Amino acid sequence: MKEYCGIIAAAGGHVNAVLFNGLRVLQHRGQESAGIATYSDCLIVRRGSGLVHDAISSEDLSALQGNIGIGHVRYSTLGGQSKDCQQPMTIKARFGDMAIAHNGEIVNSDGLRSTLMSGGWGFATSSDSEGILRMLAVKMASTGDVVGGIRETMKELVGSYSLALIVGQRAFVIRDPLAIRPLCIGRIDDVHCAASESVVFDSLNGEFQRDVKPGEIIELTESGFVSHYLGSGERRAHCMFEWVYFARPDSFIDGKLVYDVRRKTGMRLAAESPIEADFVVPIPDSGRAHAIGYSEQSGIPHAEGLIKNRYIQRTFIMPKQSERDSNISLKLNPLKPVIEGKRIILVDDSIVRGTTMRQIVKIVRKAGAREVHLRIGCPPITSPCYLGIDIKNRKEFVTHNRGLEEIRKYLGADTLAHVSIGGLLASLGRGKEELCLGCLTGEYPVPVPTESNNNLFLPK
């Protein structure tokens, strides 16, 4: 399963260092590429493959002058891994040079692309982000107004998006009307910022102010924020997976501390699926808060039985399965004195394909575990995601054509249990009507393409 991306925007003072360091804080959201665009008399863009410090050199950073800017860390969904798809993407348009950084996925991207191509537009990439950028240029030209063009473009977009945007000498951030993707605003010294996660402000000694409202357009200026709010009703569809896995545990996502949600989920999991064991062992780092909650509720001691090599990429978001497989043994090493001869409860956030989990169970067995019990802090993933995670083919899921007992045998565990949907909702303190649970239930907050025909749509 591929992860989303991370975005940041800034205005006021010299923004290059804030953008660079902010992207490093958001590095967990994407490791394929990184990029920054700033404006100083003209648009300046630096992008590259790899981690932030590899993609943007000190010479690049010195060149990125200006008082407004946006940044992006990427893991590809639509558009693949082509360097042409690295962001921020740029074009020249009526209101000046434009740049965009996008977190999310546009469901009707193909239709928008066809409409634009019929009007004479050409495309350099297969990315849905390029389609958004060109649609923005068209709508701004037709309305004669930047904010009006953004509003009109939002009416055309179906899907998930948090956007950071430069238009000439102006900077904006935009959140989709269902607030599927996270976005928040704050301040770092004299720089006004927006970012995918609040942890950016904590880590850089700044001040988190609030989440961007659903459907809100915010202009970042040197003196603060100007809200151009687009009313979207009361409907929300926050992605539950932000709390389960994607966001850092020290982030607040839409008012909920991620660590608290995961810990409470672990407690629910222990109450729903108790088992006798000697130790609760997290799969680092994603399962740690869940495991702490499980241990607290069950009274079974928590132990670090798997030691993580922190210089290995997150396998979950690596592009190829072969890369994920080969890196598991490099990434995790068992602590044999904790595991050998013991009954172990392995706790993780989720299972998608199951190949990684299967290898981890083998590692724990090889270290001498007497029993291995899997406890998972997310209900079974059974349906594709069309809103920012590259899990489109349900045949790849460990749940495909397998019942719980068959999955347990495939993974090599003695027992297997997931938290229930009700347990997850209780931990989040939110109802189904406030969340996107599409990958769990097959019910989506927007029309989505079927797996067999991208031109057909399922009902809302």
* Rg, Å, the chain Cα set: 22
- Alpha helix positions (H), 277-349: 288-298, 321-331, 336-339
Strand ranges (E), 306-366: 306-308, 332-334, 343-348
Phi-psi region of 439 (alpha: psi -120 to 50; beta: other; left: phi over 0): alpha
φ/ψ of 251, rounded to 5, equals: -95, 150
384 contacts 442 by C-beta, under 8 angstroms: no
Q: What does the alpha-carbon distance between residue 326 and residue 193 come to, in Å, rounded to a whole number?
A: 39
Coil/strand/helix, residue 351:
coil
Catalytic-residue membership of 42: no
Q: What does the alpha-carbon distance between residue 400 and residue 351 come to, in Å, rounded to a whole number?
A: 12
Catalytic-labelled residue, pool 5, 85, 385, 436: 5
Q: What does the alpha-carbon distance between residue 176 and residue 2 come to, in Å, rounded to a whole number?
A: 21
Q: Two tokens at 373?
A: 């019990």
CA atoms within 13 Å, Cβ hemisphere of 301: 9
Cis amide leading into 88 (omega within 30): yes
Q: Which residues contact 324 (CB under 8 A, 6 or more apart)?
A: 315, 316, 318, 355, 356
Query: What is the pairing mode between strands 68-74 and 6-11?
Result: antiparallel
Q: What does the alpha-carbon distance between residue 399 and residue 406 come to, in Å, rounded to a whole number?
A: 9
Strand ranges (E), 129-212: 159-167, 170-175, 184-188, 191-195, 207-211
183 contacts 173 by C-beta, under 8 angstroms: yes
104 contacts 133 by C-beta, under 8 angstroms: no
Consecutive H or E run containing 219: strand 216-221
Cis amide leading into 60 (omega within 30): no
Coil/strand/helix, residue 61:
helix
By annotation, the residues acting in catalysis are: 5
